[in-house]
Homo-oligomer: A and B are copies of this chain.
Amino acid sequence: MTYRNYFVYMQIENNRTQTMMVKKFIDEESGKVIEEKVMNAITIDCVIFGFDEGKLEVLLIEHAEGISKGKWGLPGGWIKEDESIDEAANRLLRELTGISNLYLEQLKAFGDPKRFPLGRVITIGYYALIKKEDYDVKAGFTASDAKWYKMDDVKHLIYDHNEILNYSLKHLRNRVRQAPIGFNLLPEKFTLLQLMQLYQEILNVELDKPNFRRKILKMKLLADLKEKEQNVSHRAAKLYKFDPDIYKKLTEKGFNFEM
């Protein structure tokens, strides 16, 4: 079969113009016009990690419309024509969660031809680490619900979103040992124990308190706030915050956080 021309017709749903394309082409041999649905689009899906009560969590949304209505998946959306993909990821997160200026990094593109049932859609995965205290989850846009799930409670998600989630968890486990990005999951002020528990949870290891303490303090990555925890039912721990200048220096020369 040889083609001469393609005519592609785009259906419009809710102003998201890239939702569906119908490809029409002429089969030169038979002369017939053949019409088929096709997708040749790029989306973004975000894995948003949070941390609460010593457990790693991920933000999922319930779709309000379309073929995945009522099912849970990663928040995501379409890339607009005039924005870069990083901008798109930031915009989508702003729309979906109301926060900007967070730690956001591209994971990779997922492009199995069958990953999306209606046609070919390549998605670019991003992952973000957020301080849960900073914002309220609210379902917006095309989501009917949005909720934090502990990693263990995540069940079947739409499309290949389980795969994307697993990949990003693996990626996070690696990254967290090479850059001090874990801080992005904690509140502004935190104790050393909280930080240690974060590493224990993400890396799935047991750590020794005195040794962890020594190691992390030697890096000089933490600024002592000269404050203590309030309203705790035990000896109050010192509060620290994370020093972005030192962080910058450390990441530039590359460093190792082996625990």
Query: Which of A83, A108, A111, A122: most chain B Cβ within 10 A?
Result: A111
Q: Which of B17, B38, B173, B258 contacts A6 (CB 8 A)?
A: B17
Closest to A173 in B: B254
CB <8 Å contact, B8 and A10: yes
Using an 8 Å CB-CB cutoff, how does the interface string of A62-91 with B read, 1 for contact, 0 for none?
Answer: 000000000000000001011111101000
The answer to whether B81 touches A113, judged by C-beta atoms less than 8 angstroms apart, is: yes
Give A89's nearest chain B residue, CB to CB. Answer: B111
Bound form: Cα–Cα A8–B174 in Å:
43
Number of copies: 2
Residues of B within 8 A of A111 (CB): 42, 79, 84-86, 88, 124
Which residues of A1-15 are within 8 A (CB) of B?
3-10, 12
Tell me, yes or no, whether A41 is within 8 Å of chain B by CB.
yes
A84 CB → nearest B CB, Å: 5
Q: Is B6 in contact with A7, judged by CB distance below 8 angstroms? A: no
Interface of A is mostly: strand
What is the CA–CA distance of A40 and B86 in the complex, to the nearest angstrom?
Answer: 17
- Kindly state whether residue A99 has any CB partner on chain B within 8 Å: no
Give every chain B residue within 8 A of A254 (Cβ-Cβ). 173-174, 177
A106 to B173, CA, bound (A): 18
Chain B residues positioned under 8 Å from A3 (CB to CB): 12, 17
Q: Which residues of B sit under 8 angstroms from A7, Cβ to Cβ?
A: 7-10
Complex-state Cα separation, A109 to B81, whole angstroms = 15
A10: chain B residues at CB < 8 Å are 5-8
Whether a CB of chain B sits under 8 angstroms from the CB of A21 is yes
Q: Which of A130-183 contact B (CB under 8 A)?
A: 173-174, 177-178
The smallest C-beta distance from A137 to any residue of chain B, in angstroms, reads 27
- A124: B residues at CB distance < 8 A: 109, 111, 122
A81-B38 in contact given A3-B17, A174-B178, A256-B256 (Cβ < 8 Å): yes
B6 touches A42 (CB 8 A): no
Question: A120 near B: Cβ within 8 Å?
Answer: yes
Using CB atoms and an 8 Å cutoff, list the residues of chain A in contact with chain B: 3-10, 12, 17-18, 21, 38, 40-42, 79, 81-86, 88, 106, 108-113, 120, 122, 124, 173-174, 177-178, 254, 256, 258
